[in-house]
Amino acid sequence: MKRGFFALIAAAALVCTGCAGSGAGAPSLDEVFVSRRSIRAYEAGRTISEAEVRELLTATQNAPSWANQQPSKYYVAIGEEKRNAVLELIGGNKSRVINAPVMIVSTFETGKSGFFRGQQVDAEGNLWGAYDNGLSNAYLILKARAMGFDTLIMGMRMADELRQLFDIPENEVILAVIALGYRDQEPKMPVHRPLDEIARFF
């Protein structure tokens, strides 16, 4: 009887181990792509821990950048006082993200991407820093969705006031503010342009 019981326990353990190894419950990359949306209404009363935000931002460090310069920086308003202060600096988006528990200010250091030994290497110059920051932000919002969170990248921001609020150095460009929270709506899939309008094959 005991042998049969322990055999059953062992079999169950093997099944569970197989499930964990197959990544059961984790969304596929395609599922992350399809379910990620720009969310403009967030659930009230829900929180996100500092440890979870650290995991999220660690993922952004895998994003490619010019010569591995890693120009992107993030300033995280996770405490109520700083979060409320950021809400006053994002214009009309305040009402859309007022219940998002975290606000992340995204910047990039100038003079890194697009430069070699301090010299600009092409006409784009610091635009490469913005490009790299965009790649990093893409990793951020996709990782957020994989973790069950939602985001809104906001271009409306009072840069001078944000710089003062977070003591952001002058050599960093404040590119966006990203709201992080849990969706309180199920947005529709937007209409995408036909592939042949955005890609040409030769």
* Tens digits of residue pLDDT in 117-161: 999 999 999 999 999 999 999 999 999 999 999 999 999 999 999
Task: Record the pTM.
Answer: 0.86
Contact between residue 71 and residue 144 where contact means Cβ atoms under 8 Å apart: no
- Superfamily the domain 37-186 falls into: NADH Oxidase (3.40.109.10)
- How far apart CA 87 and CA 179 sit, in angstroms, is 10
Instruction: Please give the average per-residue pLDDT across 42-53, as a whole number.
Output: 98
Instruction: Please give the average per-residue pLDDT across 22-41, as a whole number.
Output: 85
Distances (CA, A) of 9 to 17, 40, 149: 12, 47, 35
The pLDDT value given to residue 23: 45
- How far apart CA 132 and CA 147 sit, in angstroms, is 23
Instruction: Please give the average per-residue pLDDT across 42-70, as a whole number.
Output: 98
- How far apart CA 165 and CA 174 sit, in angstroms, is 12
Burial (Cβ within 10 Å: 0-12, 13-18, ≥19) of residue 134: middle
